[in-house]
Structure 1
């Protein structure tokens, strides 16, 4: 902005006409131009609107706001819809920053609504990537009117020793709705950006069962908002459990959740069906081994093929699952698996899809925690590549120390018509001569080793990641304030991105996944020595909505704190 204005001033458009005797032939030509001759003391405000709009298109969001404060002329110009539509495209969407609205809805938004979203996205990204990120507003509220760990009405158990076990942001609500999970109660809260209080929107309790986990629906347009996995003890001697799942929809008018489908998954088992789940539209991914359940259709459960289970002498439980196009990505403690997902007919029966290729990768050391980040692509990029770029972060503990390891799944390009014909001909010849099955290529490359290793302290835990690649983990650090040093629970932020780069050896392009870790913590909460010794911290759970820049923190006392970073 400063460079641009200085160039304009140099050519006599901001500070009047320069003296031709002292400034040379360039200024003589400008002095005789029609633009300058029409005004006795021309400046930037004398330019026509179309020229001003071109100038504004070259500056950033904060510079547009600064320009608006200089004169009444710029107030009217910078309030035009074209200004913020262009700023949102160039400074937010083209930089692959999250937009606090659906891209398809941007054409229907007014100039003021576009301005608010462009400013919000720009400020959140700048604050998150700064050397000292700070929350700009905090909202705190209890999940119940009275919360005490000795309250007998809560009926806490060994598996659920505290009032609150999860805090979750539903996708599609721009961080203004938050779901809290207790032992047998799920509540939905509204926390507006303008207000300072949290309002209870809906709640539902399960009296007989204990809630093991709640997962939000990845598709915000689907009628189902979340899936609840619950269990109860049916035999105290063994013990054995009865496990089930329910799909709920949010009814804001009546202030409750409505059960769309309830299913009893298993009886008399030792909790082998873990509460790990994912809800992707109509398809739910449950348990270990992973079970596919189309909750809208009255059909049976579909257990993935035998490749879903690998016998390993090391721990090999499921840590994360994710649907990526027509493949199911399963991250286990010792393996990374890519399995083809079937299609379902009208009766809910699973039929084999078009893809028949599965991939398998053995990791060197078993992990304790993992998250999957699927990077978004444009429609043009999705047509040119067979898969989405994927970043997998795994927290590993070895004899050499603790670390977070990054694995990259990079997509392969879609073959051209000539390459497809050549591959088809080669496959037919192999089938005729060697009687081999027709091969199908992998849609992505699986790395043989981690692409990046980040050392972390032993207190590192609770990996949290948003839909757009921003995330954090928690660790204990020693902070110094004045002359005193004390331990604190800190959130260490990171930013996982993906971009197209030009290959040096050829003219082709490829995807490159990057991970940037912020040095200074996003949030710090002082802890006592007893918490560090027993590894029982006051912060129990957390969640991130990285579209609008909100972090929810659930405490041991049943209170929830909302941190706004935009």
Structure 2
């Protein structure tokens, strides 16, 4: 380098004739300045390294673990996965496959398993091509003959599955199946390919009209079942409701309370709608029944309240804080729930509507999604954000219509600003006082989605993920055939902070997945008669598990995590 500088670098690089005459004297290695290696992750102290790890994704942490022994040791610490759980699961409002109160008692490995499960399920569900990772198939009862399991139209099957339910609190490992007069509980572990019968019960001489599992996983009652039997002619029915608990040790269901709802009636009642802890919501009109107390039934609504010939049956019922949300075919009601004394009698009536909304076209199906809130948010708002999806057929148009119930802040009830409320543009709630309705109802749908005429079976989980079924054409190996497709969606809600003069407010969103979650081939007879092999389905969207019940008595389980 010194010789080159002596001869002048500028002259050699400006005169091409002198390039070949550059002296070739060997360069001393002592004169070369080698670059120092830049500090990497390995040079960081553990406390700084833990902070860096908390900022990267779940899959990146697992990849980093395989690079060295030090990273393998650091990424197995409980502090890492506790922090990742908060940043990548809880803060993103993803469901945790465990009770929040139990997280403090879980080990580092148990936290890691739950974080990975929640992250992979959400990523798979939201991907362009969601796929089930594992499938489990079993028969609720063995077919009478081998030919019965391969029929296309399954009228001859004696034991079709009419309902399937995942009881909350068991992370999708328990499943309730309902046949004509049999209720069974199955255990389907995440490791393994078999289902095990836990308990069963027969209601001989009766037909099960409806069954729902308890929304409260801590309550001793697991489910409530409504069934009827013929007691006279012309057929006169006796209708009964029973509350059951699960006795896994004895392999049976135990009756906690039994009540005759009607006797010698000529038609069956509308099935049970909901079980929320100690309160059961029954029939149409909707009545409250506190099954733990020896009190009478309390009627919440009186059926078709606007006395029109429009169909107005109950489609969905949900308790939201201290209000009862009733979704009918032609309107939505929000009713304040009464208070009950020790004897089970209502001490406060529900004579006024909390809110009322008349929908333009009668719906055929509806589901209600109540979005969870943090403790701070619950104290600041009177209500939870609610998304209602209604399947409507009108004028040869088939749509899914979305209605948003957005909460009002607690401060608005204290202000009592009558003038501000009178300027409200929503004509459906203008006649109400601010304290009557804890939320606002839109005058029209906030979103409308076109669906095919074959759309049916709306299913939604507790955390906003769901699907509906529709018949589509699928091409495979130059052949086109009809399939029953599960169209997935996800309903979310987030709080928009206050900006300038705009107060903070909630916004509900519905994201539809174009590609089906699951496709099942169907025969031409099933399409023509609208009598499909799949009868019922349910979703546990905490762990990402779907259960499907068929006419042949077969249950199909799919895991998406």
Matches within 5 A, 1:6-405: 43-147=40-144, 162-237=159-234, 239-271=235-267, 273-306=269-302, 309-352=305-348, 357-405=353-401
Relative distance call for 1:210 and 1:417 in structure 2 (3 A) is closer
User: SS at 2:526's partner residue?
Assistant: helix
Aligned to 1:5: none
Whether contact under 8 Å (1:167, 1:541) holds in the other structure is: yes
Which string of whole-angstrom CA distances, capped at 9 and with x for unpartnered residues, describes residues 525-551 of structure 1? Answer: 001111101111111110000000000
RMSD: 2.6
* SS of equivalent to 2:324: strand
Q: Structure 1 stretches of 5 or more lacking a match?
A: 1-18, 24-30, 32-39, 152-156, 427-435
Q: Displacement, 1:267?
A: 1.8
Separation in structure 2 between the aligned mates of residue 440 and residue 128 of structure 1, nearest angstrom: 40
CA distance in structure 2 between the aligned counterparts of 1:372 and 1:270, rounded to whole angstroms: 31
CA contact (8 A) 1:148 1:557 kept: no
Separation of aligned partners in 1, 2:99 and 2:144:
38
2:407 to 401, 407, 411: 411
Q: Distance in 2 between matches of 1:403 and 1:286?
A: 28
Contact 1:149 1:162 in 2 (8 A): no
Matches within 5 A, 1:382-461: 382-415=378-411, 419=415, 440-461=435-456
Provide TM-score, normalisation by structure 1.
Answer: 0.86
2:22 corresponding residue in structure 1 = none
Please state how far the C-alpha of 1:444 moved relative to its aligned partner.
0.2
SS of aligned partner of 1:204: strand
Distance in 2 of aligned mates of 1:441 and 1:499: 24
Residue 61 of structure 1 deviates from its aligned partner by: 0.5
Deviation per residue, 1:370-428 (Å, 9 max, x gap): 000000000000000000000000000011410100000000001179726x78xx9xx
Give the superposition deviation at 1:359: 1.2
Q: 1:184 to 1:354 in 2, by over 3 A?
A: closer
Using the TM superposition, give the Cα deviation of residue 163 of structure 1 relative to its aligned residue in structure 2, in angstroms: 2.4
The DSSP-based 3-state class of the residue aligned with 1:171 is coil
Deviation for aligned residue 1:48? 1.1
Give, in angstroms, the shift of residue 262 of structure 1.
0.5
Instruction: Give the conservation status (yes or no) of the 8 Å contact 1:225–1:250.
Output: yes
Aligned-pair distance for 1:192? 0.4
Q: Tell me how far 1:240 sits from its aligned partner.
A: 3.1
* Distance in 2 (alpha carbons) for counterparts of 1:334 and 1:303: 20
C-alpha distance in 2 between matches for 1:282 and 1:150: 45
Deviations 1:29-52 (A, max 9, x none): xx7xxxxxxxx8854222211111
Equivalent residue of 2:442, what SS? Answer: coil
Query: Is the 2:337–2:350 Cα contact (8 Å) retained in structure 1?
Result: no
Tell me how many residue pairs correspond in the alignment. Answer: 514
SS in 2 for 1:88: helix
Secondary structure class of the residue paired with 2:294:
coil
Alpha-carbon contact 1:496-1:514 (below 8 Å) kept: yes
Corresponding residue number in structure 1 for 2:12:
none
Q: Distance in 2 between matches of 1:450 and 1:439?
A: 22
Q: Deviations over 1:198-220 (max 9, x none)?
A: 00001111112111111000000
Give the match for residue 530 of structure 2.
535
Q: Is the 8 A contact 2:318 2:324 kept in 1?
A: yes
**Structure 2 residues without counterparts, runs of 5 or longer:** 1-30, 149-153, 422-430
Q: Find the aligned partners of 1:43 and 1:299 in 2 and give their Cα distance.
A: 70
Correspondence for 1:477: 472
Answer whether contact 2:285 2:302 (CA < 8 A) is retained: no
Contact 2:173 2:187 in 1 (8 A): yes
CA drift of 1:496 comes to 0.3
Q: CA deviation at 1:502?
A: 3.6
Distance 2:349 2:83 in 1: 41
**Aligned mates of 1:377, 1:252 — CA distance in 2:** 33
Check 1:256–1:437 CA distance in 2 against 1; reply closer, same or farther (3 A cut): closer
Contact 1:147 1:558 in 2 (8 A): no
Question: CA 1:437–1:167 in structure 2 vs 1: closer, same or farther (change >3 Å)?
Answer: closer
1:284 and 1:292 in contact (8 A); partners too: yes
Q: Report what 2:487 is aligned to.
A: 492
Q: Are residues 439 and 197 of structure 1, via their aligned partners in 2, closer, same or farther at CA, if it must alter by over 3 Å?
A: closer
- Deviations along 1:221-276, one digit per CA (max 9) or x if unpaired, are 00000000101123342x33211100000000000000000000012324362014
SS in 2 for 1:200: strand
Partner of 1:512: 507
